[in-house]
Amino acid sequence: MGDRKISVGLCGFGIVGQGVYDHLTRKRKLLGEQLGADIRVARVAVRDKSKKRDVEIDPSLITEDSLSVATDLEIDVVCELMGGTGLALEIVTRALVAGKIVVTANKALLCDHGKELLATAQEHGGHLLFEASVGGGIPVIKAIREGLIINDFSRIDGILNGTCNYILTRMANEGLSYQEILGEAKLLGYAEADESLDVDGIDAAHKAVVLAYLAYGKWTDLEEVRLDGITRVNQEDIRFAEDNGYAVKLIAFVERERQSKALYVSVLPVLVPKSSSLGSVDGVFNAISIHGDVVGETVYIGRGAGRHATSSAVISDIVDAVKLLIFGGPEGRFPFLDPAPKNGSELEIARPEEVHSRYYVRMRVDNRPGVMAEIASILASREVSLASVTQKEVGEDAERVSLIITTHMTTEKAIKETVNDLGNLDSVQGSPMTMPIRNFGEKSEDAWLES
């Protein structure tokens, strides 16, 4: 190992924090030989010292004062692995003000405060690294910032939440309901006790905001993300997809057409071809497809969460931090590196009338003459062209049937108005379920935004 000593402080010692400590400790010699520096975990902040943990650690390294780790002059790299946006924000801010390199896996923190934190890093000579915030062990941020740096990106599509992908995969493979699988997913540890962050799409939306910034240089407010989760997906949707060569996936889309000033960011359940790069990814795996003007499409698949996958990404950032400290200049100083394009402030969020797709609509309707005519009249009034109609009886209820329609290309504005009008019909029970249909690879239907 080299002569340079690098001290790392961990704020948070849960699943990921223990994984980082374990792997850094076990591979300390190997990293030292590769980097010419001795990396050691010098302090670990926990909420409760008495709590039992899976990893053995010298008790003298543990403190319950996380702010003391953030401001300790002897610590070179601070890893925020606590989660949340309260104390975590204070820790990261204090460390950046102290001119330190901060590593975080906290996508919610970046989504809500990324712009101000990067400004703080620039002002005080610190640096903020966040490879583990999107895609777990998939090195997607590094790919965008380094491997694909020469590319302009037309779009990034991703399965960014393993819990949702696991539930949808089992619904397709086993014919079970959403609620049945959710209960099992909680028992297996794939879903939290409060599953809303996952199944409502919020976790994936946080990650989409980070990707949009990295690719286009604009921080998107969470309220500007078109957002819907998987809680309304049922076996009718799954069977329709299967019968027509599709899979239902919760997909994050980040898109900007070339020369366009409009940026589109969404997280929605979508019908995608099973043969596509995202349609074939099952279980707890994440997948991210990046479209660059030079390289074309590149696809990254791997585990998006868990101790080992996420700690791999955190340690990758720690290694980058070590390189900055060793090679950054006199006395270990380093220039602030803006991770995103600088023209993002010119972009505007795409308006509903600018967003184009085919759509799937499922509704339960009265089984009587004239209902289809009412529905067709509403579609015509909104200039939505009908592509197909499928009608099935629902159980033993002879008075109502399940009606599934698909549309030709239309706008987000038109489909929202159509679905609202349909929901107001006396003959339609409840609010219709709708999903975009994406036929990846077909040029006319390969983008949300028109060129």
C-alpha to C-alpha distance for 128 and 109, rounded to whole angstroms: 12
C-alpha to C-alpha distance for 81 and 24, rounded to whole angstroms: 15
Give me the amino acid identity at 309. Answer: A
C-alpha to C-alpha distance for 160 and 281, rounded to whole angstroms: 11
Instruction: Tell me if residue 324 falls in helix, strand or coil.
Output: helix
C-alpha to C-alpha distance for 167 and 172, rounded to whole angstroms: 9
Angle, vertex CA 122, rays to CA 119 and CA 124, nearest 5: 110
Which of 100, 107, 207, 249 is an active site residue?
Answer: 207
C-alpha to C-alpha distance for 228 and 220, rounded to whole angstroms: 17
Closest CA to 11 of 3, 2, 20, 1: 20
C-alpha to C-alpha distance for 66 and 83, rounded to whole angstroms: 13
Q: Enter the tokens of residue 66.
A: 């996380």
CB-based burial of residue 401 (10 Å sphere; 0-12 exposed, 13-18 middle, 19+ buried)?
middle
C-alpha to C-alpha distance for 321 and 6, rounded to whole angstroms: 10
Instruction: Tell me if residue 427 falls in helix, strand or coil.
Output: coil
Which helix or strand (DSSP H or E) is residue 5 part of? strand 4-11
Active-site residue flag, 413: no
**Alpha helices by DSSP H, 125-276:** 140-142, 162-174, 178-188, 196-199, 202-216, 235-243
Matching residue, tokens 């997280």: 267
Positions marked active-site: 207
